[in-house]
Each structure stands twice: as structure tokens, then as C-alpha cells.
Amino acid sequence: MIAVFAMPPASEFVMSIPPLPAEAVHDLRSHFEQHWCQPLRDAGVAYRSYVVEESAAHALVRLAQREHADLVVLGAHGHGSFTDRLLGSVSYTVSHAAPCPVVIIPAEARAA
């Protein structure tokens, strides 16, 4: 299992913003490991985690290709923003570009 936290580079929005400092990436990685990956550890699931400064869709597709993934599972937030409608949602992009099957968990199912 691979857990991924992807964030678009700040420069994607404003050209003059430099990449996140290494310390900030380290803090994000620590928070991701401590909080988001806790259920995996509790269930005894072997996993690796990645924190990447890249759009979520591109990161998931790239890692699925690189890791020869058998399946990609991602959650849908349940509503499309203007950007989603204009450029396409993460779920849409991954489901059309991933080299393997994709399971999309609707927001309503995660709440249950």
C-alpha cells in the first residue's frame, strides 16, 4: 500500500513563489504520517508514504505507473469547484489516465 499526500506547487498559482522550504515539507510529512496514516498502522497494513509537491492527479498517476500499482483508491469530495469543471476533477483525471483500475469512494461513503 502506498499513501500519498500531494499538494500543487505554490508556483502553479503565482510564478514568484518559491518551493516550500525543506522544513515545511518535513512538518507536512510528519503530520501525514502521525495522523492520516494512523489507521493503516492500527490495522497492521504495510505501507509507504509520499508527500509530493505536485498536482494530486498527476502525482497519483505517476506513482501508479512507477510502482506498477494494481489498484488506485481515492476519495471524491462530493462537489465540483469551478476549477474542477474547467480543468477536470482529480477523480476524473486519475480514472482516465491511471495504468490500472481506479476505485473512487464517494464522500457520503466515507462519512459512514
The predicted-structure confidence for 3-47, as pLDDT tens digits, reads as follows: 999 887 765 555 566 666 778 878 888 999 999 999 999 999 999
CA dist 85 and 96 (Å) reads: 16
Same domain, 66 and 81: yes
The reply to whether 42 and 61 lie within a common domain is no
Task: Please write the tens of the pLDDT for every residue from 56-109.
Answer: 899 999 999 999 999 999 887 766 565 555 556 888 899 999 999 999 888 777
Q: Could you tell me the pTM of the whole model?
A: 0.74
Residue 24 CA: distances (Å) to CA of 17, 19, 20, 21, 53: 14, 10, 6, 5, 11
Strand pairing category for 102-105 and 72-75: parallel
- Parent domain of 25: 1-54
Has residue 53 got a pLDDT over 90?
A: no
Q: Are residues 95 and 111 in the same domain?
A: yes
Domain count, the chain: 2
Q: Are residue 74 and residue 102 in the same domain, yes or no?
A: yes
Residues 111 and 99 in one domain: yes
Secondary structure element (H or E) that encloses residue 73, with its range: strand 72-75
